[in-house]
Structure 1
Amino acid sequence: MKWTNQLKASTTLLAALVMAGCSSYPDEGQGGMGEYTAMSDFSPVFPEEPLGPEHGLRFDFHLARLQLDSLINQGAEWCFPASVVQAETKEKRIARELEGGLLLDAANDIVILRKNLNKLELQLDYVTSETECVPPSQNASFQSDKAIITQLVDLLNVDNQFAVGSTEINPKYMGHLAEAANLLKQHRHLKLSVTGHADMAGSPEYNEKLAMGRAKQVERYLVIFGLETARIQTLSVGETLPLTEGDTPAIRLTNRRVSIDIVSTNAQGGGYEHL
């Protein structure tokens, strides 16, 4: 089922939210930007309450969840497990942001999630035109593989990775890279796509170069920890895809980062799972 037209209907609501400028930085446990916790159940409309930006976000969030559910029902979990794991992780983040009142942050993450789901839909359409996405015969092995992907996603995508204007990696994050490299050495069918990001403090040209430097620095340490260069792809988007909109010190901290996607070469049909 195609969702593009349905999702476009909520774009106006997201634009209205951005104009409202709703964003904050709550304490840990209250929907903070770096939290990946259990999914909450949201209703798209609140009874006996006037409609506002949060209603539009909740409705848009439900559309994205329905799209992912539809893709899973079509077999996306079997052909593209890494993509499904990362979409589910993003859903949990959005749920926490909505629960914590981080409406602008949730809007930004919903846009990213929708883009990833549309990409997954195209991939699934292509694969299912040639073969079926069905549970593997070694289901226990598949579930173990999915658990490893989930662990890698949580290890590699955390906040507080870099200092201002620097490519030097936070020592704690370096420990995460070492642990991830050890896991990846045991699961050779998994590769990484490392995308560098910068906050809005510098010029676009400077931020593009800085973001690529961060991606390359992550690649350098992964190689030091024993991962082959051929298993790592590096990209830069500069300041153009912030994790959170805004210009406070806390928000700039979360936007100085790399985002790392897991790429599985075990997708059915002999192809790669590109994220």
Structure 2
Amino acid sequence: MNKQKLLILSLGFLSISGCTSFAEPGEGGEAENYPQAAFSPVMPDQPLGPEHGLRFDWELAARHLDILILEKAEWCFPATVHQAKQNEARIARELEGGLQLDAANDLIIQRNLLKRLERQLDYVKRQETCQPPSDSNSGNSDIELAQKIYDLLNRDNQFAFNSAELNPKYIVNLSEASQLLIKNQDFKLLVTGHADAVGEEDGNQELALKRAKQVKRYLSIFGLAQNRIHVDAVGSNDPYFEGTEPHVRLTNRRVTIELLELDQPLQLEQ
């Protein structure tokens, strides 16, 4: 019986990884307008490990998101869909980098996000409170707005070593993003502070929280209501890249900012 199960799993992995290739960017329809993973194929004589199960879970979540996008979830919940796309790309990077525990944790978050998105989409369709535009070119403004705000908040080198003072260029990004958010009241922010791998865990956690609070302070100065800005910190426990090289540490000294619909629950509240 166990051998039969292993054979079935092997065939499933081969059908996904060995015989299927991802479409070139821009050629896979509406759901393919974001980076896709290019995993190495699973060979017939290759032993299966936990990483292959995670890869299979990633594939299922990716297809779930594709279906929701085809059902026009992006028109009704542009920020949530954009966040799901970013999560998907992040998990793919973690799998390629061998960060299996990080990938497993982020897959749980992604599955919960997609389930919530599916429930929200079903509800607004029943209530007819969100009607996707009949013209595929109309309604793009909300999607593009969510992407623009997200990209402004999550770009550029943000902090110096052992400091919560913001890079002046990033302050300009916060100013521009805050003005867009003031004009559009449908979104809130979750600001999560990070630190690089140098230093003690407690000190990194404290520094990461200071960074998140500093970003909230500037967004408030620029006019964004404080009740739309929530802060959290993970210290050095969630690096963007592994390593202690100067360029890696620079990238890991950051905040990540999630753009959420106002009624979307926060992970830290759960």
Q: Same fold judged by TM-score > 0.5? A: yes
Q: CA deviation at 1:107?
A: 5.5
Contact 1:156 1:176 survives alignment (8 Å): yes
Q: CA deviation at 1:167?
A: 0.1
Question: Which of the numbers 143, 148, 157 marks the counterpart of 1:146?
Answer: 143
Query: Would the alpha carbon gap of residues 149 and 274 (structure 1) be closer, same or farther in structure 2, given more than 3 Å must change?
Result: farther
Query: Would the alpha carbon gap of residues 110 and 144 (structure 1) be closer, same or farther in structure 2, given more than 3 Å must change?
Result: farther
Query: Would the alpha carbon gap of residues 94 and 116 (structure 1) be closer, same or farther in structure 2, given more than 3 Å must change?
Result: closer
Contact 1:108 1:244 survives alignment (8 Å): no
Query: Counterpart in 2 of 1:39?
Result: 35
Q: Secondary structure at the match of 1:88?
A: helix
1:136 partner letter: C
Name the % identity: 40
Query: Would the alpha carbon gap of residues 176 and 49 (structure 1) be closer, same or farther in structure 2, given more than 3 Å must change?
Result: farther
Matched, 1:199 2:200: no
Query: Counterpart in 1 of 2:131?
Result: 137
More deviation in 242-251 or 143-152?
Answer: 242-251
State the Cα deviation string for residues 34-84 of structure 1 (Å, max 9, x = none).
Answer: xxx95347466266896799x847655433312322444566435533121
Distance 1:144 1:229 in 2: 25
Contact 1:207 1:239 survives alignment (8 Å): yes
Matched, 1:84 2:78: no
Query: Which is higher, the Rg of structure 1 or of structure 2?
Result: 2
Distance 1:244 1:179 in 2: 28
Q: CA deviation at 1:202?
A: 1.8
Q: Secondary structure at the match of 1:263?
A: strand
1:116 partner letter: I
Matched, 1:66 2:63: yes
Q: Secondary structure at the match of 1:259?
A: strand
Contact 1:168 1:214 survives alignment (8 Å): yes
Contact 1:208 1:239 survives alignment (8 Å): yes
More deviation in 242-251 or 119-128?
Answer: 119-128
2:255 partner letter: V
Compare relative contact order (CA 8 Å, sep 6+) and give the higher one, 1 or 2. Answer: 1
Query: Would the alpha carbon gap of residues 42 and 60 (structure 1) be closer, same or farther in structure 2, given more than 3 Å must change?
Result: farther
Alignment size in residue pairs: 230
Query: Counterpart in 2 of 1:22?
Result: none
State the Cα deviation string for residues 185-210 of structure 1 (Å, max 9, x = none).
Answer: 21122111111111221222111111
Matched, 1:259 2:259: no
Distance 1:44 1:59 in 2: 13
2:148 partner letter: Q
Contact 1:87 1:113 survives alignment (8 Å): no
Contact 2:57 2:107 survives alignment (8 Å): no
Contact 1:199 1:239 survives alignment (8 Å): yes
Can you give the 5+ residue segments of structure 1 that lack an aligned partner in the other structure?
A: 1-8, 10-36, 266-271
2:107 partner letter: R
State the Cα deviation string for residues 23-42 of structure 1 (Å, max 9, x = none).
Answer: xxxxxxxxxxxxxx953474
Question: Which of the numbers 110, 123, 132 marks the counterpart of 2:116?
Answer: 123
Query: Counterpart in 1 of 2:107?
Result: 114
Distance 1:39 1:254 in 2: 19
Contact 2:75 2:142 survives alignment (8 Å): no
Contact 1:219 1:234 survives alignment (8 Å): yes
Q: TM-score, normalised by structure 1?
A: 0.68
Alignment of 1:19-38 (within 5 A): 38=34
Question: Which of the numbers 228, 233, 237 marks the counterpart of 2:234?
Answer: 237
Query: Would the alpha carbon gap of residues 138 and 52 (structure 1) be closer, same or farther in structure 2, given more than 3 Å must change?
Result: closer
Query: Counterpart in 1 of 2:96?
Result: 103
